[in-house]
Amino acid sequence: MAVQANQHLIIHNGHGMVLDPGGHKVYAKVCGAVIEQLKGGELKYIFFSHQDPDCIAACNGWLMTTDADAYISALWTRFVPHFGLDDLVFNRLKGIPDEGMILDLNGAPLVLLPAHYMHSEGNFQVYDPTSKILYTGDLGASLARTTGGSRFRPASPVHRGLHRRYMVSGKVLKAGPAW
């Protein structure tokens, strides 16, 4: 059974950013839902918080079927072609510098915040000052097998193991944007 993954879409004035759109199994459904939600608008950005396949495996499809630019940590851009990225679209895969950056979504600033070593050495989160939502990606996750999804309770035993393995230390968590 594949890791459960959540996809998100931010739309502002007809422009969209899809966040961690996922792999091949969900590509057609997510792509269809994004087109439907955009209501004739344009997908401008594809955001990859990190390099895990449940976030990024369908990157080639997204870049081939849209005009959007994709963003991932500069640390990972040279590895992404191993997911089958065509040369034709490689120049639309942009590296996020370690210190982060701001993307303009048709007038709405979206802040790509460094969250390194909180799940991956090159990891970013997105803060949307308009909705005041911080998209934390895989900061809180569980590898426990569940039938109906797992509610996020960081202190619960099913979450503890993954966080001990994937997060370097409490120090990086306290230095990060989420707390």
Give me the residues that bind Fe ion (CB under 5 A), please: 52, 138
Nearer to Fe ion, 52 or 69 (CB): 52
β-sheet bridge partners, residue 134: 127
SS3 at position 68: coil
CB-based closest residue to Fe ion = 52
Nearer to Fe ion, 9 or 167 (CB): 167
Nearer to Fe ion, 69 or 138 (CB): 138
Nearest approach in angstroms of CB 105 to Fe ion is 24
Structure tokens at 79: 């590895």
Q: How far is the CB of 52 from Fe ion (least distance, A)?
A: 3
- E strand map for the chain: 8-12, 15-19, 42-47, 69-73, 93-96, 101-105, 108-114, 124-128, 133-135
Instruction: Give the whole-angstrom CA distance, residue 125 versus residue 162.
Output: 19
In the complex, the smallest distance separating the C-beta of residue 68 from Fe ion, rounded to whole angstroms, is: 21
Q: Which residues of 100-109 are buried (b: 16+ CB within 10 A; e: fewer)?
A: beebebeebe
DSSP labels, 84-110: ---HHHHTTEEEEPTT-EEEEETTEEE
Tokens of 113: 């915040």
Cβ at position 21, least distance to Fe ion in Å: 13
Smallest gap from residue 53 Cβ to Fe ion (A): 9
- Closest CB to Fe ion among residues 15, 23: 23
Q: Which CB sits closer to Fe ion, 54 or 128?
A: 54
